[in-house]
Chains A and B, each alone.
With several copies, the nearest count.
Chain A
């Protein structure tokens, strides 16, 4: 447990980066975690191929919100192809904490939402 709530997670949870909405997002996608009702909206603005602005909004636990905040920071400047290639391991490394199968869904919600938006599909199937 003390492993789970490392200071950097709590910091992103308390002071989320990029929280809010963009005026004219190129990509805008919303998803929920059916197991707990957590919600995330991811918004991305592109300049050419690269992400030039990002915002997220949502309600949820420290893990899902910190993950969205950290992910938002991480993808700024990435190309859309790079975003499409992000995987579970990327998130786990980013968070740097041990996560069981149920909380994994919280941790991955932001990425799942982002990738569905990037690929333009209804749902990203993990």
Chain B
């Protein structure tokens, strides 16, 4: 069996039919599918081990705690964090970014300070900063985008200044596919004394990520986009920053001592983990990371590069189709496009009729769509289980949509 066949056999959902056709799932940028290894790890946890963690003296609780903390260690290694204490479990990348904005932001931002983000951000890396700027009186600024759909570097150099306290940017755009030069952008932020907050929701699932080499201050990502379950995300942070931050949510597990007169906080990472955590989900995410590691992130990136280049070429065969963002050599495995006057919803619906699942809309990134003056795009995205044959089916279905709606 080829590697690809073996991978596909690990994903039960790929056996599914949609409208009588085999499912071609081209929507992994929104959420990936899960291999049975991940599902089995969670199921086994519930069937053999489940108990609440951290406080129990009994066997199940000891085992659950060990599995939960082992998962943290596994995830820390995946991004090369110096210590698992720097890996905080959240619900998703969105909560991770909110945690930084609320906790670090409220303690550090004041009127006159500037928060710099980019026009290609997902709403999850825009709205938290809008909210915290409103609360603290800091000013929010946006790095513009070039006509090619990449960061405007001269403008960036102008916008970064000694008032900039935070530079928050996505490592890979979920609309343009653009891969930003994270290490370089982090260095630019540090040069003016700002911290670098990296939205890794799209990069961590697809590219080798080394938080120490990249020198990021914070990195946020979601489990469900990288073969893991829903309900779990990660915030990585530099130790000194995390130590200095006030807690975010209050409750069980995040305290050292609660008196009626006040409380003392627990050590990292627990200071930021209030209440019973997503235990099974942490274990599922560790299994996902294990799966990716066994493939190797180089294989993952290479597979996606190939299929994206193929899809890029085939899409450009279609008259009137325009792909947003940079060429295939500087992008991740997703292609957002417009096709004449056809509405993305209609395109996606016709594709669905052919068993091809793509996303249509603004992909939670309205500013970048405003920038291009289009309300919505259609997006096909690829992951480890996608094939050239699925790309061919995408193309065929697009021709069908054209025939139906062009008049």
* Contact of B180 with A by CB under 8 A: no
Contact with B along A106-126 (1 / 0, CB 8 A): 100000000000000001010
User: How far apart are the CA atoms of A37 and B65 in the complex, in Å?
Assistant: 19
In the complex, are the beta carbons of B256 and A34 less than 8 A apart?
yes
* Contact of A73 with B by CB under 8 A: no
Of the four ranges (under 10, 10 to 19, 20 to 34, 35 or more), the interface on chain A belongs to 20 to 34
Given contacts A1-B354, A101-B69, A102-B62, contact A123 B345 (CB under 8 A): no
* Contact of A5 with B by CB under 8 A: yes
User: How far apart are the CA atoms of A34 and B61 in the complex, in Å?
Assistant: 17
Which of the residues B62, B362, B375 comes within 8 Å of A101, measured between beta carbons? B62
* Contact of B352 with A by CB under 8 A: yes
User: How far apart are the CA atoms of A35 and B56 in the complex, in Å?
Assistant: 9
In the complex, are the beta carbons of A102 and B349 less than 8 A apart?
no
In the complex, are the beta carbons of A103 and B54 less than 8 A apart?
no
* Contact of A59 with B by CB under 8 A: yes
Which of the residues A2, A39, A101, A103 comes within 8 Å of B345, measured between beta carbons? A103
* Contact of A62 with B by CB under 8 A: yes
In the complex, are the beta carbons of A100 and B65 less than 8 A apart?
yes
Q: Return the chain A residue nearest B343 by Cβ.
A: A61
Which of the residues A34, A60, A100 comes within 8 Å of B343, measured between beta carbons? A60
24 pairs, A vs B, C-beta closer than 8 Å: A1-B353, A5-B346, A5-B404, A14-B407, A32-B256, A32-B257, A35-B54, A36-B345, A36-B362, A36-B375, A37-B369, A37-B376, A38-B345, A61-B344, A61-B349, A62-B405, A63-B345, A63-B346, A100-B63, A100-B65, A102-B55, A102-B56, A102-B57, A103-B349
Interface residues, chain B, with chain A CB atoms under 8 Å away? 19, 54-57, 59, 61-63, 65-66, 69, 255-257, 266-267, 343-346, 349-350, 352-354, 360-362, 366, 369, 375-376, 404-405, 407
Interface residues, chain A, with chain B CB atoms under 8 Å away? 1-2, 4-5, 10, 13-14, 32, 34-39, 59-64, 100-103, 106, 123, 125
